[in-house]
Structure 1
Amino acid sequence: MEEDILRQIGTIARALDSIANVEFKEIELNRGQYLYLTRIKENPGIISNHLAEILSVDRTTTARAIQKIEKDSLIEKKNDQENKKIKHLFVTDKGEKLAQRIEQENAYSNELALAGLDPAQREELTDLLKTVEKNVTANWHFVKNGGKRKY
């Protein structure tokens, strides 16, 4: 039997992303911009390059998302004390309230997705997905830095 776990992971990710885009449309956060907001909340003072790494996206995509959520007054940039070219990202009060709502949606979606799994199964699934994430992230870095995969 040939396994295609990536197809299942992709289906899950697209479905949850579509749900979030519909539910967050009223707050004008879409196309994953809510991910940027919550990661900045989780990592106060993060810089955009590190944020891009965490989300496994390119810096240009990250810059556009940051620009949008900053324009909406959800985050603010503060200069680094030693290097003025470095901007640290922080969630504003408005962004904090929105991030809390997003976190509630995430917790709800997690419970919905894991319904029917006992605690041991949930832990095993988490461990397995961490390994998959590690493998894919390492390969993403390889390709991003000019590496060519041999099929």
Structure 2
Amino acid sequence: MSFLPEILRSIGIIARSLDSISNIEFKDIDLTKGQYLYIVRIGENPGIILENLANIIKVDKATASRAIQKLEKNEFIERRSDETNKKIKKIFLTKKGKDAYPFIKRENNYSNEMAMKGLSDSEKELIHQLLVKVQTNVESDWDLVKGGGKRNY
């Protein structure tokens, strides 16, 4: 059991390091504090609604809403009313967002390559499979807690 905290610590260090690098590199295109992640997810899911976007990114709706407002103000995204239900606002990349998207994807691909440097193809596949299992476990707890449930320690 003592091995587990070291694994989670390593995952946290990796995530924070890559996030910090991205925030520094994306300053040149006026993106700050994880906004690049929203652009990628919106680019992958044009017309997504805020609630679904927040769920994909694993943040609360208020956090996603603030990020979307900033991205809209900086003209990376636009919200459009649904054709059948005007209350539903769908989110799309603007030209500026679409122009930023390939740069963000290239940075992500480079980061993946650097993170996997020195690993064989079978090691890369194994780490991917294991991390998907860890992600699934954590997401089930996230769903429980976000739904008002309590975890049993």
Q: How many residues align?
A: 151
| Counterparts of residues 1-151 of structure 1 (less than 5 Å) | 2-3=2-3, 4=5, 5-151=7-153
Q: Runs of 5+ in structure 1 lacking a partner?
A: none
Classify the secondary structure of the residue corresponding to 2:80. Answer: strand
3-state DSSP class of the match of 1:124?
A: helix
Q: State the shift of 1:7 in Å.
A: 0.5
Q: What whole-Å deviation, never above 9, does each CA across 1:54-110 have from its counterpart, x for those lacking one?
A: 011000000000011111111111111111111111111111111110110000000
Q: Normalising by the residue count of structure 2, what TM-score does the alignment of the two structures yield?
A: 0.95
State the AA in 1 paired with 2:145: V
Q: Which runs of 4+ in 1 moved over 6 A?
A: none
Distance in 1, Cα, partners of 2:62 & 2:123: 38
Q: Structure 2 unaligned runs (5+)?
A: none
Cα distance in 2, alignment partners of residues 44 and 123 from structure 1: 29
CA distance in 2, matches of 1:100, 1:47: 22
Distance in 2 of aligned mates of 1:55 and 1:94: 21
- For 1:98, the aligned partner's letter is A
Question: Normalised by the size of structure 1, how large is the TM-score?
Answer: 0.96
State the shift of 1:150 in Å: 1.9
